[in-house]
């Protein structure tokens, strides 16, 4: 029987890092965002925009995709660093390190390092904009969009393949342990897992957020166990796994609370 512990462990650690990072620096982002939060309408428009972006990537020239993503990544790093360091010239160091690494020192370890960094940075920056209500709507609509672009249009696989060919850090790529063959998980899936965990921590406490992270690791282990030992799927909408792990975590929290109150 084949199994993998590398990706499930990485998923747990990355999502847990997002929860812990957000709790430490959430107040730094409040002045920038001016207490703005997404409504359900904002969430729908956001997912529609993401879906259109996936479609566009499948048809845009590679250089345009590369420039667009490099610019967006650099900007996110600058904003994140500026919120922490409070000085623009110090904040510039982060995107400069990223660009220099991409141009001159790019290999799998550095690639994965920046995938992890961006997963945490995007989660922390975006989490302030979501509420408990809007994050549920976002997860549901995003999952539908993911399924549509994987199984109906095929654009998700096409876009992911193009971005990997461009060496853009959009996919965590790890060797399975113990088998050694490579497996990948999208940056968007890590973001969704972190977002749900952070919102759970805000609503129910930090331990609940860490439970969501742990449940994501367990869900990924089970999924890989099934897929490695059957012909289940070679490209799967992992948002399903992330949302299932979140719902399972909420069920566990509810059961524990019911026993304590009963």
Whether 58 shows a pLDDT value over 60: the answer reads yes
- In three-state form (DSSP H/G/I as H, E/B as E, the rest C), the secondary structure along 47-97 is HHHHHHHHHHHCCCCHHHHHHHHHHHHHHHHHHHHHHHHCCHHHHCHHHHH
The reported pLDDT for the residue numbered 149 is 92
Whether residue 142 is predicted with pLDDT greater than 60 in this model: the reply is yes
Instruction: Examine the pLDDT at 38 and tell me if it is beyond 90.
Output: no
Residue 23 CB contacts under 8 Å (≥ 6 apart), including other chains: 201, 206
Query: What does 165-178 look like in DSSP terms, one character per residue?
Result: HTT-S-EEEEE-TB
Q: What is the mean pLDDT of the chain?
A: 90
Per-residue pLDDT at 200: 97
Rounded mean pLDDT, 48-57: 90
How far apart, in Å, do the first and last CA atoms of the chain sit?
41
**pLDDT above 90 for 197:** yes
In this structure, is residue 262 part of a structural domain? Answer: no
Which DSSP category does 37 fall into?
-
pLDDT over 90, % of the chain: 66
Q: Is residue 13 part of a domain?
A: yes
What local confidence, expressed as pLDDT, does residue 35 receive? 60
- Count other Cβ atoms within 10 Å, centred on residue 36: 10
In a domain, 156, yes or no: yes
**Segment 58-66 mean pLDDT:** 83
Give the separation between CA 259 and CA 261, rounded to whole angstroms.
5
Q: What is the C-alpha separation between 150 and 144, in angstroms, rounded?
A: 10
Would 148 be classed as within a structural domain?
yes
List the domain range (segments joined by +) for residue 156.
Answer: 6-257
pLDDT given for residue 31 in this prediction: 57
Q: Work out the average pLDDT over 74-91.
A: 91
- Inter-residue contact 193 to 245 (CB < 8 Å): yes
Is 145 contained in some domain? yes
pLDDT digits 0-9 by tens, 206-247: 999 999 999 999 999 999 999 888 876 677 899 999 999 999
Separation of CA 237 from chain center: 13
> Domain count of the chain?
1
- 1 part of a folded domain: no
Distance of CA 116 to the CA centre of its chain: 9
pLDDT digits (tens, 9 = 90+) for 147-159: 999 999 989 988 8
pLDDT at 143: 96
In a domain, residue 236? The reply is yes
Residues in the chain, overall count: 262
């Amino acid at each position: 029987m084949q199994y993998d512990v590398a990706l499930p462990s990485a998923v747990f650690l990355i999502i847990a890092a997002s929860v812990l990072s957000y709790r430490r620096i959430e107040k730094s982002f409040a002045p920038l965002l001016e207490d703005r939060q997404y409504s359900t309408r904002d969430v729908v428009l956001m997912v529609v925009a993401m879906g259109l972006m996936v479609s566009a990537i499948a048809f845009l020239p590679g250089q345009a995709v590369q420039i667009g993503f490099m610019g967006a990544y650099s900007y996110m790093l600058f904003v994140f660093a500026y919120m922490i360091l409070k000085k623009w010239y110090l904040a510039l160091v982060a995107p400069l390190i990223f660009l220099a690494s991409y141009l001159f020192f790019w290999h799998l370890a550095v690639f994965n390092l920046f995938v992890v960094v961006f997963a945490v940075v995007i989660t922390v920056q975006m989490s302030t904009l979501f509420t408990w209500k809007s994050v549920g709507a976002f997860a549901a609509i995003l999952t539908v969009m993911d399924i549509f672009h994987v199984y109906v249009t095929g654009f998700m696989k096409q876009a992911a393949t193009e971005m990997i060919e461009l060496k853009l850090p959009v996919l965590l790529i790890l060797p399975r342990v113990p088998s050694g063959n490579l497996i990948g998980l999208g940056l968007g899936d890590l973001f969704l897992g972190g977002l749900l965990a952070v919102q759970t921590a805000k609503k129910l406490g930090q331990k609940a957020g860490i439970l969501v992270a742990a449940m994501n690791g367990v869900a990924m282990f089970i999924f890989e166990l099934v897929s490695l030992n059957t012909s289940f799927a070679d490209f799967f909408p992992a948002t399903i796994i992330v949302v299932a792990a979140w719902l399972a975590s909420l069920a566990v929290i509810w059961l524990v609370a019911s026993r304590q109150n009963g």
